[in-house]
Structure 1
Amino acid sequence: MSNYTADDAALQLQDLIMGTDSVEDFLARLAKFSAATLSHSIGQDIECGVTLQRRKKSTTVAGSSDDAVMLDRIEHLMGDGPCIEALRTQAVVLLADVGTDPRWPKYQAELATHGCRTTLGVPLVIGDGSAAALNFFAFAPGVFTPDVVAEAAGFADLAGRALRLAVRIGTAQTRAEDLQAAMEHRTTIDLACGVVMAQNRCSQDEAMRILTRVSSNRNQKLRVVAGDILANLTAGEVRTHFDA
């Protein structure tokens, strides 16, 4: 990696975060960027899959190509391999040569049928009961030298930080969307309550009791009942509006 530094990688990972709309989109871009970064360093084309583990169940969530996704999924179908081992131990796990390593014979034989000769599982730290790993695939043995393994581990540290930030951003966006939806539902209910007050010449508390009773009798959510009432009055959608 003669002209490419960790600072370059960090800046590009930041750009990835800013240029994505969701954590899933970030992971897809991360897979491509990870493969390109290590390929540049090694001077050979490699593939990268991203594995995500939640509640002790791991699955392929992204890949640098369709081949990368396919290769990554083989390990999950087999139930074990270097990437899953990396998740379990939170350490880098190298499968140097599928023809000579004795650890996962069935998995390695399957990789060999697809031309893959060596793999490297590198864990990413996420937290909150989740874990992720980069699964690198190369098509010649001896590609992942000790220097390359060390470089992959350093890159994974940067990628893990970026992923944690992407998760936090994604969580914040979800909470904001949930809050917006809750406020819009509240607006619908409050407006419907006003309609019931006007129609029945009753107090707000009495109107809410009426709405709640109808909701219970119909076995519908209160916001649905409120929406039906407003739909009979206006053809437009009722939404919450904020002044800038």
Structure 2
Amino acid sequence: METDRLSPPERVDFLDLLITSDTLPGFLRGAAEEAAARLSAEGEPVHCGILVVRERAADLFAGSAEAVMALDEAQGRTGGGPCREAALRQERVRAGCPPLHGEYANHLARMAAAGFRCALAVPIPLPAPLGAAALGAYAAAPDALTSAGAAAVTQLAGAVSRPLALALRLAEAWDRAADLAAAMESRTAIDLAAGVIMAQSSCTQSEAVDLLKSASASRNTKLRDIAKQIVCRFDPAGPTTAFN
């Protein structure tokens, strides 16, 4: 690998990539592809993956190639591998020839099957509440990703740190907004259905909601689905929330 022909990591503008990405997976994939492009020298391609380990959620991962995606997915499934260890230990981890960590035998076998004989995983600094992350670089040459190549991977991990933190923050906000919208939609349907029952049965709101709950339990159907069925008898379009 001719490390003197590497593109300077500072040329990578991951913030611009975040601005033009519509989703968190899209940003992760674009960042991995950009990192791979910067690390690849002529005739010696390097593929990259980004792995984010979260405490109460599934791992997030993206890669510049399907083979890298499969390797990161396997690390999340088995709970081991250089990228996951780099993220959790917050230290660089190399796997390949020579391997620095013999416990990665299964991962090394998967790497070899994908055509990779060397991997270097570098932690991506993140604020603690967001989880831990690592940038993984994979190459076919067993002596790749040393000296200047390893330094370039480390610089790229630092460059992607703040945009990745922002992307994770945005994803949290998007998820909360989606959950709130779903809750509002369910609440609207339930309130409208309760109003229909109150009008037809001359009962209180509390009694109407109890009737809905009873129907939900007896039919083994979600409460909001029972409510939507009632509303749709009068409005086939179904319930809509005020902010729609």
Q: Within 2, Cα distance between the matches of 1:57 and 1:190?
A: 32
Which residue number in structure 2 is paired with residue 24 of structure 1?
Answer: 25
TM superposition shift of 1:46:
0.7
What is the aligned residue count?
237
Q: Which residue identity lines up with residue 223 of structure 1 in the other structure?
A: R
Q: Which residue identity lines up with residue 168 of structure 1 in the other structure?
A: R
Q: Within 2, Cα distance between the matches of 1:197 and 1:240?
A: 20
Which residue number in structure 2 is paired with residue 137 of structure 1?
Answer: 138
What are the within-5 Å matches in structure 2 for residues 1-244 of structure 1?
4=8, 6=10, 8-9=11-12, 12-39=13-40, 44-54=44-54, 61-70=61-70, 81-95=81-95, 98=97, 100-101=98-99, 103-104=101-102, 106=105, 108=108, 111=111, 115-126=115-126, 127-128=128-129, 130-242=131-243
Q: Within 2, Cα distance between the matches of 1:74 and 1:195?
A: 52
- The answer (yes or no) to whether the contact 2:228–2:238 under 8 Å persists in 1 is no
- The answer (yes or no) to whether the contact 2:39–2:46 under 8 Å persists in 1 is yes
Q: Within 1, Cα distance between the matches of 2:172 and 2:58?
A: 21
TM superposition shift of 1:216:
4.2
Q: Within 2, Cα distance between the matches of 1:184 and 1:232?
A: 17
Q: Within 2, Cα distance between the matches of 1:53 and 1:14?
A: 21
Aligned residue for 1:128, secondary structure, equals helix
Distance 1:58 1:148, change over 3 A: farther
Aligned residue for 2:40, secondary structure, equals helix
Distance 1:146 1:152, change over 3 A: same
Q: Within 2, Cα distance between the matches of 1:48 and 1:140?
A: 15
Q: Which residue identity lines up with residue 202 of structure 1 in the other structure?
A: C
Decide which moves more: 184-193 or 208-217. Answer: 208-217
Distance 1:207 1:44, change over 3 A: same
Decide which moves more: 136-145 or 212-221. Answer: 212-221
Which consecutive unaligned segments of at least 5 residues does structure 2 have?
A: none
Deviations 1:60-80 (A, max 9, x none): 832211233355567779975
Q: Within 2, Cα distance between the matches of 1:166 and 1:16?
A: 10
Decide which moves more: 196-205 or 210-219. Answer: 210-219
Distance 1:83 1:220, change over 3 A: closer
Distance 1:39 1:192, change over 3 A: same
Q: Which residue identity lines up with residue 155 of structure 1 in the other structure?
A: L
Q: Larger C-alpha radius of gyration, 1 or 2?
A: 1
Q: Within 2, Cα distance between the matches of 1:160 and 1:172?
A: 19
Q: Which residue identity lines up with residue 68 of structure 1 in the other structure?
A: V
- When the two structures are superposed, what TM-score results if normalisation uses the length of structure 2? 0.77
> Percent same amino acid at aligned positions?
35
TM superposition shift of 1:141:
4.4
- When the two structures are superposed, what TM-score results if normalisation uses the length of structure 1? 0.77
Deviations 1:59-110 (A, max 9, x none): 7832211233355567779975543442342112234x61x44643845566
TM superposition shift of 1:195:
1.3
TM superposition shift of 1:153:
1.4
TM superposition shift of 1:162:
1.8
Decide which moves more: 207-216 or 83-92. Answer: 207-216
- The answer (yes or no) to whether the contact 2:6–2:40 under 8 Å persists in 1 is no
